[in-house]
A = this chain, B = another copy of it.
Amino acid sequence: MIMEKGISSVEVLPSKSSQVTAVKVVVKEPETKQTQRGKRVGFVLVHAGAGYHSESKAKEYKHVCKRACQKAIEKLQAGALATDAVTAALIELEDSPFTNAGLGSNLNLLGEIECDASIMDGKSLNFGAVGALSGIKNPVSVANRLLCEGQKGKLSAGRIPPCFLVGEGAYRWAVDHGIPACPPGIMATRFSLAAFKRNKRKLELAEKVETDLIQLKKRRQSNEKAALYGCGCWAENTGAHSPYSTAVSTSGCGEHLVRTILARECSCALQTEDAHQALLETMQNKFIGSPFLANEDGVLGGVIVLRSCRYSSEPESSQEKRTLLVEFLWSHTTESMCVGYMSAQDGKAKTHISRLPPGAVAGQSVAIEGGVCRLESPES
């Protein structure tokens, strides 16, 4: 396996974005065959949010990404489906108090934890998602179960199985499908409660000032951003019109990701030859420069991308193409993004916190980095 890591940042600096924003993971399962040593070919790329990652917690952010990669690779090596490997990695990320997912998530204005999760299978193109879900420790396990149940076909009386459930309905569905409930109180951590109190004070102060000035009524809405289709994740295997298999996961300001349908836009763009250029142009023209966000003073988000295709080093060879080229990239407009990656042939995961270069303005500049990995299939 050859690793080529190329870093190429563009413009970019510190912003107001406060915390790790979301956690997603993408696993590609390019080969179902077993290798000579009984191991499968596979590659995993995860992120612990696009936002701001303090130097003081950098070790913890990287550590959870590493553990998540290793969980996914272990699953793949044990013969699990890619979606189950993704779920295992995401459970690791959700269980970390350092990520804004699952345990330790940011609290809503009422002091409750509501989580989102989504998962997509590039082979079947099936999708499962939950939004504003409380009372379940690992929301991704519900999203994955929705995806699995959706693949079984129609329900009794010809009903179409749901792929996206929210709130109370999502909770009831999970419990009915044997996923254990957990008291919401357990989900909050010392950190998330402290952040909630800090933000609430900030908000009350800001609203007091506003009320004094313009008699604004106190706003108290819940900040529910659901895990919308095409916005949080996308996966699509190679097909008649798509030479490449792609997998994308996004993070950042939910409204910005939704209104640009960022995950799907990135996946579409990645069907052109130069992945790096395609991703950079998408982030510049379809995200920061999107007409759908023309009135925003900054557009905050990040994306991780995997792209793979088969190729042969001997073009004239009549043999089946044995090499899988995996390109992995991340790009963000936030101050930082924490990523981890690992192939099934690696002993351990690599992790990295990508930061905008000094002087660049978050929300207005793009950083992009990535690498290439060649996975060799075993001789038959």
Contact = CB atoms under 8 A, between A and B. Distances in A.
Interface string A276-296: 000000000000000110110
B259 A127 contact: yes
Q: How many chain copies?
A: 2
Nearest to A200: B157
Interface in A210-236: 210, 216-217, 219-226, 228-231
A12 B166 CA distance: 35
Contact of A239 (B159, B199, B291): B291
A345 interface: no
Contact of A219 (B156, B231, B291): B156
B229 A156 contact: no
Given A167-B167, A172-B222, A199 B253 contact: no
Interface of A: 16, 108, 114, 124-125, 127, 131-132, 151, 153, 155-170, 172-173, 176, 199, 202-203, 205-207, 210, 216-217, 219-226, 228-231, 239, 253, 255-256, 258-259, 261, 264, 291-292, 294-295
Given A162-B224, A169-B221, A172-B222, 20 more contacts: A108-B169, A124-B295, A132-B166, A132-B169, A151-B295, A156-B207, A156-B219, A157-B205, A157-B206, A159-B203, A160-B255, A162-B225, A164-B224, A165-B221, A166-B167, A167-B167, A168-B168, A169-B222, A170-B224, A172-B221
